[in-house]
Amino acid sequence: MALTQRENFEIMIKGGKPEFAPLLYELYKACMLATNNTDQPWKGGVDPFGINWVATVEGVIPEPGKILFDDIADWKKYVRFPDIDSLGIEQMAQMELADFTDEKRKEQPVAVFNVCGLFERMAALMGFENTLCALIEDPDSCNEFFEAMADYKIACLNRYIDIYKPDVIIYFDDLATARGMFMSPKTYRELIKPHHKRIVEAVTSRGVIFSQHTCGKCEDILEDYVEMGVRIWNSAQVCNDLDGILTKYHGRLLVEGGWDTSGPASYMGAPVEAIIEETKRCAEQYGKKGNFILFPVIMNEKGNAFMTGDERIPALMKTWHEVNKL
Amino acid sequence: MAKIEEVKAMVEAGKAKLVPGLVQEALDEGSAAKDILQAMVDSMGVVGDKFSTGEIFVPEMLMAAKAMAKGVDILKPLMAGDTSTSLGTCIIGTVAGDLHDIGKNLVSMMIESAGFTMVDLGVDVPHEKWAEAIKENQNVTLVACSGLLTTTMPALKDAVKTVKDSGLTGFKVLVGGAPVTQQFANEIGADGFAPDAGSAAVKAVELVKA
């Protein structure tokens, strides 16, 4: 490779033909500690809103059976927004960027994570079923809540941008299941999108690329994402028509994912042969499109290999580099 | 009997506040409690089909289930002791190592709407608890095991094996969850598989009536 990760990525973002299709493990300087303090503790514990997160192999989830309130009309009684200055964002950035020199920054884009988006936050506070019913039963209160939560998100993201000076913000909000969206696209557009859009614009207006992480079958709202200014869709899973999406949105959206997260290569203890096969499939099926970034999901007993590392990753990387993608 | 048709329509529409009053009006009009119940079950069948085809989404399905539950509350005192409409008891839970419950809860609501009495074991259910629950409850006709994660698919296999090896009889085993396929369900010896909450209710009835 003659180009650095940064140079290659910048070509892709502009809709050009890159030299290689990136592998997520190599592409970014990924910064994940600030959101640990502002949103959701990665290893479990109580978040700034009082929700206790339980660590599982696949990540943290709100403690089952524990909610702060069950009626969205009561949200103001229970939700207290923390003072941004008290959340230790600066300290987290110092830790994560301590060894990241200016020279390294020239070669590698910086991506800062921000997890637990508007919908997920509501679900964490009042449970999934109450949240989904609230969207229909009390849209006005939902709207008030989303507006206030978006204000908090924007304040946090502006602080991230001030301190980390990132190239990319990756904002997480899982709005879909494996078979389709949690709510109708109409409900998303009426209730969540206006506030989601403010968050996107707060980031892009500062010259930072917005990456939207949404797992599941969310292809029905990808046009909405692009229209708002989202430039990368993360965790693009195979339940979506990825071939069609890569073609349709070429030049407007980078697709980060591709891995069959429900298939044999993502089973616990999957043999390296299965991982090599899945890597080759992704390279051959998606790599040549020019707007694809591979995001593998390899599980081991400690969790997701992206966070924990894994002895099978070298084989994956070797295969990815060897397959002629472009 | 126009009121019973209104009950059906309002359950489908998820109008939880209207259904109890309409159920009472249907009773006052002379409709039998079990006919009104069946009408609501039929409505939920329509809701389940619409969910499976993507015409409606989880919130609409939840509201319909809530509406039916409110209607059933009116009928319960009139049907106490009458088990003729029940399809039996369904034991449901998420398997060991898996803490996710939203899918399992949706399936539970839909299976209950189809006419089962539900016993929900919750999440992270140890293997031995499945057989214990079958022994502890009467007229168990269905065991429904949910697993959302690829990492807990082995636990799903073990749960089914534990139940099948228990020596207990009189029930079928239904499995589901995001990574579960018909092929996997066949491999682990389950009696049935359903890809979503709507079709789970249909499959549940099919298995028990077979």
**Both structure tokens of B97:** 């190592």
Do B154 and A181 lie within an 8 Å CB cutoff? no
Mean pLDDT of A109-133: 97
Task: Please answer yes or no on whether A182 and B60 come within 8 Å at the CB atom.
Answer: no
pTM for this structure? 0.93
Checking if the pLDDT of B4 tops 60, the result is yes
Task: Judge whether residue B1 has pLDDT over 80.
Answer: no
**What 3-state DSSP class applies to A40?**
coil
> Would the CB atoms of B54 and A135 count as touching at under 8 Å?
no
Contacts of A181 in chain B (CB under 8 A): 57
CATH number of the domain at B162, please. Answer: 3.40.50.280
A-chain residue closest to B151, CA distance: A268
CATH number of the domain enclosing B36: 1.10.1240.10
- Residues B65-105: tens digit of each pLDDT: 999 999 999 998 888 766 666 899 999 999 998 888 888 99
- Chain A nearest C-alpha distance from B119 (Å): 16
* A267 contact residues in B (CB cutoff 8 A): 150-151, 153
More confident residue, A222 or A307: A222
Among chain B residues, the shortest Cα distance to A300 is held by B151
3-state secondary structure at position A35: helix
Q: Show Cβ contacts of residue B102 under 8 Å, excluding neighbours closer than 6 positions.
A: A128, A129
Does residue B204 belong to any structural domain of this protein? yes
pLDDT tens-digit readout, B148-204: 888 889 999 999 999 999 999 999 999 999 889 999 999 999 999 999 998 999 999
Residues B95 and B75 grouped into a single domain: no
Domain boundary among B79, B97, B126: B79
Q: How far is A255 from chain B (nearest CA, A)?
A: 22
Query: Do the Cβ atoms of A246 and A263 come closer than 8 Å?
Result: no
How high is the pLDDT of residue B140? Answer: 97
A58 touches chain B (CB under 8 A): yes
Q: Indicate the residue type of A208.
A: V
- Tokens matching residue A210: 């917005």
pLDDT for residue A1 = 57
Which ipTM was obtained for this model?
Answer: 0.90
B71 located within any domain:
yes
The domain in which residue A77 lies consists of 5-322
Is B123 within a domain?
yes
B188: left (phi over 0), alpha (psi -120 to 50) or beta: alpha
The residue range of the domain holding B47 is 2-79
Cα–Cα distance between A165 and A157 in angstroms, integer? 11
Q: Are residues B47 and B98 in the same domain?
A: no
- B9-43: pLDDT as tens digits: 999 999 999 999 999 999 999 999 989 999 999 99
Whether the pLDDT of residue A232 is over 80: the answer is yes
Nearest-CB residue to B105 (from A57, A129, A263): A129
Q: What confidence score (pLDDT) does residue B29 get?
A: 93
Instruction: Mark yes or no for CB contact A178/B178 under 8 Å.
Output: yes
Q: Is residue B84 part of a domain?
A: no
Structure-block tokens of residue A87:
């959340």
Same domain, B189 and B106: yes
Residue in chain A closest to B55 (alpha carbons) equals A184
Give A267's pLDDT tier (boundaries 50, 70, 90). confident
